[in-house]
Amino acid sequence: MCATPHPAPGRQPAQPWTLETSELLSSLQVNPAEGLQPTECAARRRRYGDNLLQTTRRRRLLSILLDQFRSIVIGLLGLAAAISMLVGDRLEGMAVLAVIAINTAIGFVTEWRATRSMEALRQLGQFETVVRRGGVTTTVPAFALVPGDIVLAEGGDIITADLRLLEASKLAANESSLTGESTPVGKSLEALPADTPVAERRNMLFKGTSLARGSALGVVVGTGVATELGRIAQLVSEAEPQVTPLEKRLDALGRRLVWVMLAIAALIAVAGVVAGRDTVLAIQVAVALTVAAIPEGLPIVATIALARGMWRMARRRALITRLSAVETLGATGVIMADKTGTLTENRMTVTVIELPERTVEVGGTGLETRGPFLADGAPPDAATMAGLDALLTAVTLCSNAVLYLDPSGDARVVGDPTETALLIAAAKRGLQRDVLLQSMPELREEAFDPESKAMATFNRDAGGLRVTVKGAPERVLPACTQVRCTRGDVALDREGREAFLARIEGLATKGLRTLAIAERAAADLDESPYRQLTLLGAVGLMDPPRAGVREAIARCRAAGIRVIMITGDHLATARNVAETLNLVRPDEAEQRCIDASTLTHPGALQAATREGARVIARATPGQKLQLIEWFQQQGQVVAMTGDGVNDAPALSKADIGVAMGLRGTAVAREAAAMVLQDDRFSTIVAAVEHGRAIFANIRRFVVYLLSCNISEILVVGLATVAGAPLPLLPLQILFLNLVTDVFPALALGVGPGGAKLMHQRPRASGEPILTREHWARIMLFGLLMSASVLGAMTAAVWLLGYAPGAAVTVSFCTLALGQVWHVVNMREHSAPWWRNEIVGNPWMWWAVALCILLILSAVLAPGLSRLMRLAAPGPAGWLLIGLFSLLPVLLGPAARRAAAALARWGWRAAGSQ
C-alpha cells in the first residue's frame, strides 16, 4: 500500500459521487478484487475511528432529579422554609419542605424517561456487513467498516456505511427514511455533477437505508459522522430542545413573585415592629405572609395538571415524552407536516388503470383487498372487465412480490412496494399469483434493470409461451406494435402511441407513478422480451392520504393553525396529495406549492413561506431546520411531524416534535416530544385541543391561587397597618395555603375545558399566563375576600361580643370557606353559576367536600384545633361565617366586569402615550 497521507478522519474522499470509479479507487488505495488487507483495515480504523454516530450524553437520574429544583418558585419556597426553621417555626418549615418534596417526586417520576435522541441512531451500528478483505469474502460488524472497504450487498440488506457503487445489478434502494422519497430509487454507476442533491445521487448507497432489490458491489467512502446519516445525527445533537412557552411563563411569573415576596417581608416586618408587636411575632407573620405571597400549590398543581394531560393524551394514543410539552401543544400556531408516512400511508396503492379505451378508477387503499372498480362512476361493462382482468393477470405474473391472504381477506405482503400494490389490485379481482402460476408456471425472468426501466417474465400457458412486460411508459410503448381493444388486437401506430402516452403523462402531472403493461406470445425462451408487444394499458400508483387527515386539516384551519406540508418527495407528488387533502385549492396550487431545491438564494425559502407557501417539496433536513427557526423568530410555536431519519433534527428543534409510532423510525420517536401510537394526524388536533384546555386550566388555577393569597396578604397587612389584632395566625395562613387552596386549584387544573377551545385563534407565544385583565381580577377578588373576612371579624367583635381568640376563628373560617366558594368565580364569564365547566367537573365536588371536612376538623377536632388555636364559634358565629363567606361569590360577576373595564382603560391609556 502507498504511504500517501490521508486527510482528517471522515473527510476522504470529498464528493465521491463526482469521481470516476478508477479515480476513486486510486484515491482510496484499494483493489476491488482483493479489498483492503487486515493490517491496513486496522490502521484505518485507528485513523478514522469506529463506524458509529455521534451520541448525545444520556440524562442521568441525578440530573433529572436536580432539574426539578430549578424552578424559581421552588427556590422561594426553600428560602421561606429556611427562614421558618431559623426563627424556630419548625412545623411551618417542615410543611413547606413537604410541598417541595411532593412536587419533586411527581416531576421526577414523570420525566425519568426523558428522550435520548441518539440512542436509537446508535443501533444502526450493530448490524453485520459482508466485505471483501485480503481476497476473502467475510462478515464483519458494521462498526468495524473503514473507508476503502469493499462491500457486497443484496436485496433486503441494511446499508451500514456510505458506499459508492462499483457494480450494480437490477439495483433499487429504499431511501424514504433519509430523503422522503416514497418509492425505491434505481441506481446506476455514472459519475454525477458536484451539485447533485442527496436524493438524486444514483451512484451512492447511504447508511441507514436498505436495498429493495438487486445486488451491489460498493466501496466505503464515509463512515460514522462523515456519512449523510451522521450529518443528520450532528444536526440532532446541535438542535437543542427549546424551552417551552409554559416554562418561560412560569419562570417569568416566579421572578415577579420574588420582588413581591421581598416587598411583603420588609413592609410587614417593619409595620409590625412599628405597631409595637413582639419582634419574633412580627418576623413569624412576615414569613407566613411571604409564604402566602408564593403560590405553594402552583408547582404541585401545574405538575399534576400536566401529568394528567399526559395520561389523557396517552388514552388518545398520543404518548408525551416531555411533561411541559403537554401545554405547549395548545399554543401551536404552525404544524409542519412531513408527507410520507404522516399525511400519507407510506404504502403505494393502485388508484387508476388506463385501458386503451376506458379509464378505470380503483377503490380501497393500503392492504385492503376489497374495493370497487369504476368507469365513469359506474361499474365497468363485461368487455371492459375482460381487458382489466387481462392487464391484472399480466402484472400478477410479471412480479417477484408475494401476497398472503388471511381468511378475512386482509393481505400481508413481501417485496417491492410497487409490485405489492399491483398484487393487491389484482387480488381485488380474485387474481392470486400462486394460483396463476399453477396453470402458467414461470420459465424465465428478465429482472428489472434501471437502464431498460422494465421487467419481463416468460410463462407457459395452453397456447405456448407468454411474455408479460411492465415498465416505464416511455420504454414500453415504443416496443408495442399492437393494442388490446374490446374488439381484439389492433395495430398501434405512432399517432395512437402518442395519444396513449399523453394520457399517461396526465397521470404523472397529478403526482402518480405510472407503469405501462404489455404482453406477447413467444416461440422460445431466448427471444428478446421487449419487441412486438401488445399494449394492455397502464396503471397509476400513489401513496394515498391517510384517513381523517383532510378533516383534521380543516379543524386546524378553523382553530387558526397553519398547516405546511414539507417533504423530500417530488413537487408533483406533493401537490397532488395537498390538493386531495384540501391543503391547497387547484387554482392556487401554482403559488402555494414550491420546490425547495430551486431556491438557491439565502432567505428565499423564508420569503416563499412568508408569501403563503403551504407545500414545500424536495426539502433537505437543513432546510426544515431553517424554516422552524424562522417561524420561531416570528414568535410562532411550531409543531413538526415526521417519521424518518431525515426528520429527526427538525423534530428535536421544533417546540413540539411529533413522531409516528407505528411506522416511524426509532430515531424519529426518540427525538420527538410526542409520539402518535396510532399514526393518525387527527390525533395531533385532539392533542392540541387538550393542550389548549390545559393552559386554560393552568391560567384558571393561577388566578384562583393568587387571588386567595392576595386576600390573606390584605387581611393581615391591613390589620397590621391599622394596629388591630391579627385576623390570622402564621400556622393558620400556612394551613390555608397548603390545604384549602391546593385541592380546589387541583380540581381546576384537571377540568375538561370549554366547548369553544378549537374555535379560537392560537394565543400569542409571548402572551403571559396572566394578562392585565387577569391581574385586575386577582386584585379585585382578593379585595372582596379580604373585605368579607375583616367585616366578619368586626361583626363578631362588635355585634356578637366575641373575644379576640374566638374572632380569629370567625375570620379563619370565613376566609377558608370564602376561598372554597370562590372556585365558582373561575367559570367562563358567559356561563351561569349553576351550569358551567366548574360545577360540571366531578373532581371539583370532591375537592369542595374534602376542604369543608378539613376546615371543620381544624375547628372541631381537639388536637388539631389546639394546634391551630381555633375554637368552635357557636351557631351565631357559623351563621355569620356563612353569610360573609358567600359575599365574594355573589359579587364575583361585578368584579369580573370591573376587571375587564380596568384592562380596557389600561390599554387605552397605554395607547395614548
Is the separation of the CB atoms in 786 and 711 below 8 Å? yes
Distance CA 828, CA 703 (A): 13
DSSP for 3-58 reads -PPP-STT--SSSGGGS-HHHHHHHHT--TTT-B-HHHHHHHHHHH--S----PPP
Q: What is the DSSP string of 408-431?
A: TS-EEEES-HHHHHHHHHHHTTT-
Diameter over CA atoms, the chain: 121
How far apart CA 871 and CA 803 sit, in angstroms, is 11
Q: Is 509 exposed, middle or buried (0-12, 13-18, 19+ CB in 10 A)?
A: exposed
Pairing of strands 464-471, 318-320: unpaired
SS3 (DSSP) at 518: strand
651 SS3 class: helix
The answer to whether 32 touches 150, Cβ cutoff 8 Å, is yes
DSSP states of 760-816 as a string? SPPPPTT--SS-HHHHHHHHHHHHHHHHHHHHHHHHHHHTS---HHHHHHHHHHHHH
Q: Please name the residues in contact with 449: beta carbons below 8 A apart, sequence gap of 6 or more.
A: 170, 455
Q: Nearest-CA neighbor of 821 among 796, 858, 790, 784?
A: 784
587 is catalytic: no
User: Where does 180-333 show beta strands of DSSP type E?
Assistant: 185-186, 204-205, 210-222, 318-320
- Tally of CA atoms within 13 A in the half-sphere of 774 that contains its CB: 18
**What b/e readout covers 247-280, taking b as 16+ CB neighbours within 10 angstroms?**
bbbbeebbeebbebbeebbebbbebbeeeebeee
Residue 92 — φ and ψ, nearest 5°? Answer: -65, -40
Among residues 89, 149, 157, 338, which one is catalytic?
338
Residue with cell 459521487: 17
Query: Catalytic residue numbers?
Result: 338
